């Protein structure tokens, strides 16, 4: 059982559709990050959220940190084929040292 | 600007063999870590270091050793390879854990036969 549960695990949608990916835990995090990974590459940071209730926007991507800092969501508006990839959330547990732990990932495919 | 460099990119080992995966960063980052990535499992933390001379265990440390003699280098040693260690290994570095960007290497694909 992973500390951070991501859902859905797989998502296949048509270009132009909207989608939301969730990252949930029963633990409290001091910060939470979202990364995107392409095949054969390491993950690349999209955003970091640190305050409960925080919302950050990155073009068509909207990230939200839950009020209790136990969960986060990533919403993509009008998805494009270039959004295809593996989306990973990662969190730093509150008062638990320096272990940055990752969720299992959501594999997104956007078809033209 | 090299960033995080991992070597080798591919490796095949026989069960019982030992080897060292190399990781070097040129960004003067204090925090370095090793993850393994298996299909459908995301990234699992093996070991991490908050600075030279300091290492700690992550979620799945068994069968692996690390050391951090310099800020730049953080090698991962497989003591006696097992087929269960077949995976893709990623090294990452950042100024601190969690609140700053983690930069990842390109990964080492390891197969143990």
User: What pLDDT, in 10s, does the model give residues B67-112?
Assistant: 999 999 999 999 999 999 999 999 999 998 777 889 999 999 999 9
Identify all chain B residues contacting A35, using CB atoms and an 8 Å cutoff.
102
- What does the pLDDT read at residue A26? 93
Q: What's the whole-number mean pLDDT along residues A81-87?
A: 96
Nearest CA in chain A to B9: A40
Q: Which of B104, B105, B96, B88 is nearest to B39 (CA)?
A: B88
What is the β-pairing status of strands A5-7 and B31-37? Answer: unpaired
State pLDDT tens for residues A25-67.
999 999 999 999 998 899 999 999 999 999 999 999 999 999 9
Tell me the two tokens of residue A26.
Answer: 């029963």
pLDDT band, residue A83 (cuts 50/70/90)? very high
Tell me the two tokens of residue A18.
Answer: 């909207």
pLDDT band, residue A93 (cuts 50/70/90)? confident
- What does the pLDDT read at residue B111? 97
Identify all chain B residues contacting A90, using CB atoms and an 8 Å cutoff.
43, 98, 102
Q: Is the pLDDT of residue B55 over 70?
A: yes
Mean pLDDT of chain A: 94
Residue labelled with tokens 């209730």 = A53
State pLDDT tens for residues B35-45.
999 976 789 99
Q: Is the pLDDT of residue B20 over 70?
A: yes
Q: Is the peptide bond before A8 cis (omega within 30 degrees of 0)?
A: yes
From chain A, which residues contact B within 8 Å (Cβ)?
2, 6, 9, 30-31, 33, 35, 40-45, 48, 50, 88, 90-92, 97-105
From chain B, which residues contact A within 8 Å (Cβ)?
4, 31, 33, 35, 40-45, 48, 50, 56, 58-59, 90, 92, 96-107
């Amino acid at each position: 059982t992973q500390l951070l549960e991501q859902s859905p695990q797989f998502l296949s949608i048509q270009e132009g559709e909207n989608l939301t990916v969730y990252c949930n835990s029963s633990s409290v995090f001091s910060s939470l990050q979202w990364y995107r990974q392409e095949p054969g590459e390491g993950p690349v940071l999209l955003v970091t959220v640190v305050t409960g209730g925080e919302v950050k926007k990155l073009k068509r991507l909207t990230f939200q940190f839950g009020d209790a800092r136990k969960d986060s969501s990533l919403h993509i508006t009008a998805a494009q084929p270039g959004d295809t990839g593996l989306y990973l959330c990662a969190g730093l547990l509150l008062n638990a040292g320096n272990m940055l732990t990752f969720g299992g990932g959501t594999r997104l495919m956007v078809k033209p | 600007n090299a960033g995080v460099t991992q070597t080798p990119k591919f490796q095949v080992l026989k069960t019982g063999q030992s080897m060292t995966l190399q990781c070097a960063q040129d960004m003067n980052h204090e925090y370095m870590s090793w993850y393994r990535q298996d299909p459908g499992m995301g990234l699992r933390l093996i070991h991490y270091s908050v600075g030279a001379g300091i290492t700690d265990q992550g979620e799945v440390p068994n069968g692996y050793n690390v050391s951090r003699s310099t800020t730049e280098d953080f090698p991962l040693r497989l003591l006696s390879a097992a087929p269960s260690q077949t995976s893709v290994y990623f090294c990452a570095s950042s100024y601190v854990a969690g609140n700053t960007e983690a930069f990842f290497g390109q990964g080492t694909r390891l197969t143990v036969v």
